[in-house]
Amino acid sequence: MFPTTATKLTELNSEQIGGLQKALNLAGYTLTIDGILGPETKQTFSQFKKDQKLTRPSEMGPTTLDALVEAIAENLRTPTDPTKSPAKVDLSLIKKWEGLRLGAYLCPAGVWTIGYGCTYLANGARVKKGDRLNSKAEAEQLLDQVFTRDFLPKLQKIPHWQQMSGGQQAALASFAWNLGAHFYGNGNFNSITRALRDKDWSGVPRALRLYNRAGNKVLKGLQARREDEVRSWNAR
């Protein structure tokens, strides 16, 4: 299905793009499978190659395909520790800072969002204008489903995750929900990546506080959210 020689993404046909989107989802990323090479697909593919320490972020080739196959296998065989089940990750910080809205709305970034800040529905479809949830209970269930499906597997790959307290996991869950499930190892998050990788847990609060800006402007809301996450982290 995929080309056997290095090929630019723009040269792939719709069927190949759809296959790539499906493969990235199986590898732990989140994409709408529509066969369209849009900005989201390009960005996710670029992030995948960065995560795999591969060059040429807009090119598909045998080395990328091998890495994709291995990433899928790794994602499927990642063990789930029953003592750290999704239900035991406290999502109250997410609920507090996202707030509850039953009808779809545009977030500040211009993305359709619903419930407690969910941009995807339980069936994997992106939230769109006109979508509506029936109750707070449905919103809580959606939050649990989206967090479990799209965020928890990535958080569990952070070094020492299973050694963290409930408060520490809750802090990172809120941070990831706000800034992206792929923050760990991302070049824009070097400070917190380094602290978590090196198990410098006393340095995590300092690192969390760095991420309080939007458009190079410090936002009071982000500052307050980071302080809440710091308190949760320090509570152990």
Q: Where are the alpha helices (DSSP H) in the chain?
A: 14-26, 39-51, 62-77, 92-98, 136-146, 152-155, 166-179, 190-197, 204-208, 220-235
Q: How far apart are CA 204 and CA 36, in angstroms?
A: 39
Q: What sign has the CA pseudo-torsion 55, 61, 63, 68?
A: positive
pLDDT, tens digit (0-9, with 9 covering 90-100), for 209-229: 999 988 788 889 999 999 999
Class (C level, CATH) for 82-235 = mainly alpha
Question: What is the structure's pLDDT at 30?
Answer: 66
Residue whose structure tokens are 């706000």: 178
Domain ranges in the chain?
7-77, 82-235
pTM above 0.75, yes or no: no
Strand 101-106, strand 112-115: pairing:
antiparallel
Question: What is the structure's pLDDT at 155?
Answer: 93
pLDDT, tens digit (0-9, with 9 covering 90-100), for 38-50: 888 888 888 888 8
Q: What number does CATH give the domain 7-77?
A: 1.10.101.10
